[in-house]
């Protein structure tokens, strides 16, 4: 039911993606978890109100990223399907080149390829655009959290609840 090119494309791309993810992520994951819990303990130790403000801004970023990921996932899935279609079509047309030539199927083959290629282009563009939004939005959320902590810390410092050093520590 599935063309050779589609199977080869999926195996090659999926295995490569898994290998890259595992190779780059395991060390970073351990470091990040340790840093996260250490910072969280320090923050709660210094001031609970400012910690809850910082966690709230992080949750806002998590929600925004979840929405973007949900929207972009369908385009990434469509991109993988379109890539399999293009590779499958190329493999079949290359393997059966003499049959396509014999039955004057070049024009139909080119039209089919252009359709597959356009689908790949559109899904690839949309998925890359949405994934490209991640870093600017995360930078915005990080800066937003910084501002929230500074404003809440300033209000607490003016009321005399904390000292300036607590804000600096955050």
Residue 4 has pLDDT above 70, yes or no: no
**What is the average per-residue pLDDT within 1-6?**
69
**What is the average per-residue pLDDT within 97-119?**
81
Which of the two residues, 41 and 95, has the higher pLDDT score? 41
Nearest in space to 141 (alpha carbons), one of 63, 40, 39: 63
CATH number of 4-169: 1.20.1560.10
Domain residue extents for the chain: 4-169
pLDDT at 154: 92
Which of the two residues, 132 and 26, has the higher pLDDT score? 132
Residue 84 has pLDDT above 70, yes or no: yes
d(CA 130, CA 68): 7
Residues 6+ apart with CB under 8 A from 131: 72, 76
The band of 55, judged by pLDDT with boundaries at 50, 70 and 90, is: very high
The band of 82, judged by pLDDT with boundaries at 50, 70 and 90, is: confident
Residues 6+ apart with CB under 8 A from 104: none
At 8-54, the pLDDT tens digits run 777 777 788 888 877 778 788 889 999 999 999 999 998 999 999 99
């Amino acid at each position: 039911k599935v063309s050779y090119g589609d199977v080869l494309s999926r195996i090659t791309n999926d295995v490569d993606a898994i290998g890259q993810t595992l190779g780059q992520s395991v060390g970073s994951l351990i470091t990040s978890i340790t840093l996260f819990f250490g910072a969280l303990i320090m923050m709660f130790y210094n001031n609970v109100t400012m910690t809850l403000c910082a966690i709230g801004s992080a949750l806002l970023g998590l929600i925004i990223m979840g929405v973007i990921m949900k929207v972009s996932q369908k385009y990434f899935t469509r991109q993988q399907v379109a890539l399999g279609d293009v590779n499958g079509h190329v493999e079949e047309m290359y393997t059966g080149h003499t049959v396509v030539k014999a039955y004057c199927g070049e024009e139909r083959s080119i039209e089919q390829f252009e359709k597959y290629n356009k689908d790949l282009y559109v899904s690839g563009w949309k998925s890359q655009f949405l994934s490209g939004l991640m870093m600017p939005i995360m930078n915005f959320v990080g800066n937003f959290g910084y501002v929230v902590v500074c404003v809440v810390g300033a209000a607490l410092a003016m009321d005399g609840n904390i000292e300036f050093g607590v804000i600096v520590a955050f």
